[in-house]
């Protein structure tokens, strides 16, 4: 039986991952900032193989509680899934710097710091780390400067980390999804830090969270290093590299509402 730690587990992709892992027989340690939502999810799964600890993923104190929980309740950690995330929809020139700092704290600093803290347990199990990146880390998406920067930093840091932890037998799966039907966009921040007041612009097909969760677990089983689930977004990232002026024209047309 694997022990899987999932952040941002009360809704969206994190919840679908929790459901799918539980159905496969895994023991789960779940965390989310939404304490009531997390408690309800844990009750839904049952307590036999599930432990839930609510808190702010940017706080090192929560990292300590999570890893202590792994040791005391389960005695091991096999998979760490860094799923918790936040985004914003706001022009860069009209975004409070505090919004950029918050997005960077949740989407970059927290997963890196939690992963580093979890390495002793993962070395023991020769386990795996999952980091949920984004195609926005590969190509600019208008109105998402902070999110693009955070996901780019996440991808670069974890690609460097991959070579170092491979020596200890720890696998690392970077996931690069495109637009998913999850609360992260419904709860996006505006430039003032309050909920964004306009609908999001998208590229390509909006995929479901359960579809994405299934692909991630299959990739974990195969011990893959990277997952690019959306071919259209992957091609768009190539367009950005090969013809950046054309990409910007297309993006400006599609995302005009994000910068007006």
Long-range contacts for 194-202 (Cβ within 8 Å, ≥24 apart)?
196/88, 196/89, 196/90, 198/89, 198/257, 200/89, 201/142, 201/143, 201/254, 201/255, 201/257, 201/258
Q: Which pLDDT does position 182 carry in this prediction? A: 59
Averaged over successive runs of 10 residues, the pLDDT of the chain (260 residues) comes to 96 96 97 97 92 98 98 97 94 95 98 98 98 90 93 97 97 86 69 70 66 95 92 80 87 70
Q: Which pLDDT does position 96 carry in this prediction? A: 96
Q: Which pLDDT does position 260 carry in this prediction? A: 61
pTM passes above 0.75: yes
- Top-level class of domain 3-258: alpha beta
Q: Which pLDDT does position 259 carry in this prediction? A: 60
To the query of whether residue 147 is one of the catalytic residues in this protein, the response is yes
Question: What's the rounded Cα separation, in Å, for the pair 41 and 195?
Answer: 24
Would you kindly state where each structural domain of the chain is located, as residue ranges?
Answer: 3-258
Q: Which pLDDT does position 257 carry in this prediction? A: 63
Q: Which pLDDT does position 232 carry in this prediction? A: 74
User: In the chain, what is the straight-line distance between the N-terminal and C-terminal CA atoms, in Å?
Assistant: 52
The one catalytic residue in 108, 147, 176, 247 is 147
Q: Which pLDDT does position 247 carry in this prediction? A: 83
Torsional sign, CA 254, 103, 170, 6: negative
Q: Which pLDDT does position 188 carry in this prediction? A: 81
């Amino acid at each position: 039986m694997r022990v899987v730690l999932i952040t941002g587990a009360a809704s969206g992709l994190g919840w679908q991952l929790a459901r799918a892992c539980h159905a496969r027989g895994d023991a789960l340690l779940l965390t989310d900032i939404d304490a009531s939502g997390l408690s309800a999810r844990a009750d839904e799964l049952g307590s036999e193989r599930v432990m839930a600890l609510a808190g702010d993923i940017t706080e090192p104190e929560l990292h300590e509680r999570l890893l202590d929980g792994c040791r005391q309740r389960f005695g091991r950690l096999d998979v760490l899934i860094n799923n918790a995330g936040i985004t914003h929809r706001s022009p860069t020139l009209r975004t409070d710097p505090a919004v950029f700092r918050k997005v960077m704290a949740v989407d970059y600093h927290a997963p890196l710091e939690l992963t580093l803290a979890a390495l002793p347990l993962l070395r023991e199990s020769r386990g795996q780390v999952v980091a949920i990146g984004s195609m926005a880390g590969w190509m600019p998406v208008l109105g998402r400067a902070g999110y693009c920067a955070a996901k780019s930093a996440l991808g670069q840091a974890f690609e460097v980390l991959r070579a170092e932890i491979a020596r200890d037998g720890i696998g690392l799966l970077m996931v690069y999804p495109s637009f998913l039907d999850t609360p992260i966009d419904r709860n996006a921040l505006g430039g003032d830090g309050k909920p964004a007041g306009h609908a999001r612009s998208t590229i390509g097909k909006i995929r479901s969270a359960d579809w994405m969760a299934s692909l991630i677990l299959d990739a974990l089983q195969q011990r893959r290093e990277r997952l690019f689930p959306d071919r259209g977004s992957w091609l768009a990232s190539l367009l950005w590299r090969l013809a950046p002026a054309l990409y910007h024209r297309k993006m400006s047309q599609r995302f005009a509402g994000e910068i007006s």
